[in-house]
């Protein structure tokens, strides 16, 4: 009895380590983003008479703010975040409704997606992506068994997703609503939902999503121009044809950093949505392969960390890692596909690389959460190793196992196992 407080103190003193692969990949993507924003935005800044380094300076400022948010997330215990799951869901709806409030919401190019913060505009849906992932992770922990066994538990998160999608349709933001639906489906599958039961909502949702996609004429033009952009290269196919010319001009090794021609007022949004086309032109196939490899490593490591957490019964941490991994992989896949002419044009940025404010801030914050998950996973593994090492070392005055009664050995083993689970594998919220 006297050894228990000392052992607990030793376990609490154990520190974890942040996953070096996640940290290194995030830094590499951020550094590449700074270089490419500098290269792609000089002509745009001069054309808008705001100075050649306006967008670079702005990007670095938001990146520094994102690093601060990431560090804050890396220092915040996951149990503290999970305790506020209901407030996070409420914040999702408040943010998406606030864009419609006069004086708070701001309309840009006919869309109401931004909040006017005075010094800058903030795209509300970027924060909603992260808040929704954390809430859904908490929900899957609290109703893990019911999600697999009952219709009601499975349909509740789908209903929340549909409500968020309804608000995004009003903005409108078809790219983000598709991303949220895909993240929801992916997290439910990884959370153990009954797969045959998922087919019903999917079969209903796909035609509805297709109807929404073709409801607006500009979305139909995007789809038809994607199929044959050269049919109308000066109107509906203008973006994609210029992106494809940039990709083709880069060939294997590119024309050299800073030597892109398409970024000189030919390629729209060269520093945001179509920055990969500039990478392809200046760095060639090698540069594109590097970008794809970094995102593959980031997503793969996120899923690996999530799987290790679930194996250790740290389900909330694991589901958060799954959600962030799905977000980064799906958004980068769509952005890369759009730049290479494989997908219709969507307004999704390339995480950490494209110039942006709210996107950079919330991507850094999401990666900070992912790094926190890896920290707590490593800390738990070290705690388990410490307990197992102490269990194998006989204490002073310890009676050899051969001289102990069988019942005493079994009782000691059960108590040690229960204490190990309480210390290393806490389960927050309902798990029934």
DSSP string, 37-76: HHHHHHHHHHHTTS-TTHHHHHHHHHHHHHHHHHHHHHTS
**Does a structural domain hold residue 46?**
yes
Structure tokens at 334: 């769509």
**Does a structural domain hold residue 32?**
yes
Q: Which domain holds residue 42?
A: 17-382
Positive or negative, the Cα torsion across 418, 422, 425, 429?
positive
**Does a structural domain hold residue 218?**
yes
The number of folded domains in the chain is 1
Name the residue with higher pLDDT: 67 or 413.
Answer: 67
**Does a structural domain hold residue 403?**
no
pLDDT(326) > 50: yes
pTM higher than 0.75, yes or no? Answer: yes
**Does a structural domain hold residue 377?**
yes
Q: What are the DSSP calls for 141-207, one per residue?
A: HHTHHHHHH-HHHHHHHHHHHHHHHHHHHHTT-HHHHHHHHHHHHHHHHHTT--HHHHHHHHHHHHH
Q: What is the mean pLDDT of residues 148-160?
A: 86
Positive or negative, the Cα torsion across 78, 82, 87, 90?
positive
Name the residue with higher pLDDT: 36 or 197.
Answer: 36
**Does a structural domain hold residue 239?**
yes
**Does a structural domain hold residue 21?**
yes
pLDDT(336) > 80: yes
Q: Which helix (H) or strand (E) holds 105?
A: strand 105-108
Q: Identify the top-confidence range among 40-44, 189-193, 280-284, 352-356.
A: 280-284
**Does a structural domain hold residue 391?**
no
């Amino acid at each position: 009895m006297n050894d228990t407080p000392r052992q607990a103190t030793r376990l609490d003193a154990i520190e974890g380590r942040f996953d070096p692969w996640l940290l290194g990949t995030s830094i590499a993507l951020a550094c590449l983003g700074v270089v490419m924003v500098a290269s792609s935005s000089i002509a745009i800044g001069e054309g808008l008479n705001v100075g050649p380094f306006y967008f670079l300076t702005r990007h670095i400022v938001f990146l520094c703010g994102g690093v601060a948010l990431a560090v804050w997330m890396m220092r915040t215990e996951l149990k503290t975040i999970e305790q506020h799951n209901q407030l996070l869901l409420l914040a999702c709806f408040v943010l998406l409704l606030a864009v419609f409030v006069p004086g708070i919401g701001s309309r840009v190019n006919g869309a109401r997606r931004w909040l006017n913060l005075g010094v800058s505009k903030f795209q509300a849906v970027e924060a909603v992506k992260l808040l929704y992932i954390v809430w859904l992770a908490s929900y899957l922990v609290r109703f893990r068994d019911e999600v697999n066994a009952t219709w009601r538990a499975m349909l509740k998160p789908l209903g929340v997703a549909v409500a968020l999608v309804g608000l995004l349709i009003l903005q409108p933001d078809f790219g983000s609503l598709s991303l949220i639906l895909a993240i929801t489906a992916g997290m439910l599958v990884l959370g153990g939902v009954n797969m045959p039961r998922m087919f019903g909502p999917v079969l209903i949702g796909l035609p509805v999503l297709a109807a929404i996609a073709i409801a607006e004429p500009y979305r139909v033009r995007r789809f038809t121009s994607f199929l044959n952009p050269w049919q109308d290269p000066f109107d509906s196919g203008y973006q994609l044809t210029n992106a494809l010319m940039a990709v083709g001009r880069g060939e294997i090794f590119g024309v050299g950093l800073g030597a892109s021609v398409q970024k000189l007022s030919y390629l729209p949004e060269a520093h945001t949505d179509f920055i990969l086309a500039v990478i392809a032109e200046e760095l060639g196939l090698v540069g594109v392969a590097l970008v794809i490899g970094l995102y593959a490593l980031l997503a793969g490591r996120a899923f690996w960390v999530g799987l290790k957490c679930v194996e250790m019964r740290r389900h909330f941490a694991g589901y958060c890692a799954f959600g962030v991994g799905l977000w980064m992989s799906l958004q980068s896949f769509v952005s890369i596909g759009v730049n290479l002419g494989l997908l219709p044009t969507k307004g999704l940025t390339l995480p950490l690389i494209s110039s942006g404010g709210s996107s950079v801030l919330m991507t850094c914050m999401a990666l900070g959460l992912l790094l926190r998950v890896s920290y707590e996973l490593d800390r738990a593994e070290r705690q388990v190793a410490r307990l197992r090492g102490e269990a194998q070392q006989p204490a002073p005055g310890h009676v050899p196992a051969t001289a102990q009664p069988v019942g005493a050995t079994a009782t000691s083993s059960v108590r040690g196992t229960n204490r190990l689970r309480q210390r290393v594998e806490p389960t927050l919220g309902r798990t029934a």
